[in-house]
Amino acid sequence: MDETAVDGWSPADHPYGIAVSEAQWALGDVELCVRRIHAGGEVVSGFDSRQIDARHLCLALAQLLTAETLEQEALADLGMDPEVRQALGQARKRFELALPNIALIRNGLVHFESWSRGRGHGPQRQRVNAGDEPRDVARAFWGFGYDATTDTVSMGPYQVNVTTAGQAAAELASSIYMAARAVDAKRTADDREAASQVLTNAEVWGPIQVSVGFDGRVWLSLDCATVAEESERHMVARRAISALAGAGFGITPLGHFQADDPALQLAAGQALRIEPRAARQALATEPQD
């Protein structure tokens, strides 16, 4: 049985994180291919391994563009600041300027059944529509290989420099990651504001504090110095935890004392982590007008 089905997790709920994950896999693929290409070839099933790695390199580079597309869609769906999307879009443009036509090389490799006959989409179709014979078009866009003297991969009229590819891939993958970090920062700020509003509505204030830690998570704490009576600290702590739990927030004690009463820990001055997942899930499943 798939354990992810038990807790309701789905990648569809985390597209901006999936984009980061796929970008990192693609970057690792690119770095490995660049390293092996530059290290020199060996014969594998009659082929120079550099030629095999050159194919994987182009496919992995194109995967980074797909990851950026997914990240952009996720940013739009989440209503992120346009500046975040613009910064990521600029990173993609730099990638495409450094590696022009990498998407077309990928298409030629993946759809060889069409490109080898001059029946591919994009530039091949344009040439055929202009009156060129498909077999002539196919010849113009054919011929894949790595040239060690120029450190370039070519397919028909298109070329990619291998060293440049590694550098461009690292920058785009980093930009995708930073865009996702912006999403995390926004969610943390929203979670802090929502938790604070819950406590305000419940008239729990004063010694109770909601803050963002160095770990980027939201934490609940009680300033014991402002409340002299232990019984009052316990009362305030229980009211705060009850209000947050009622709003769908989870509370996680710090350390290894999960079985202890969180209210007693909060009253003793221990910070508790506020988990927003349950609240988000409740909001997501509420019927919309």
**What is the full per-residue pLDDT of the chain (289 aa) written as tens digits?**
454 444 677 898 889 999 999 999 999 999 999 999 999 878 888 889 999 999 999 999 999 999 999 999 999 999 999 999 999 999 999 999 999 999 999 999 999 999 999 999 999 999 999 999 999 999 999 999 999 999 999 999 999 999 999 999 999 999 999 999 999 999 899 999 999 999 999 888 778 989 998 888 899 998 887 776 888 888 889 999 999 999 999 888 766 555 468 888 888 888 999 987 654 544 343 433 3
How far is Cα 147 from Cα 154, in angstroms, rounded to an integer? 8
Pick the closest to residue 184 from 196, 192, 173 (CA basis).
Answer: 192
Specify the pLDDT at position 7.
63
The beta strands (E) that lie in the chain are given as 43-44, 47-48, 144-147, 152-155, 158-161, 208-212, 218-222, 250-253, 272-275
Please provide the DSSP assignment of 152-214 as one string.
Answer: EEEETTEEEEHHHHHHHHHHHHHHHHHHHHHHHHHHHHHHHHHHHHHHHHTT--TTEEEEE-T
Given the structure tokens 């600290």, which residue do they identify? 233
Specify the pLDDT at position 65.
98
Domain map of the chain by residue range? 4-184, 202-285
pTM greater than 0.85: no
Amino acid, res. 177: Y
Three-class DSSP category at 218: strand
Contact of 166 with 102, CB cutoff 8 Å: no
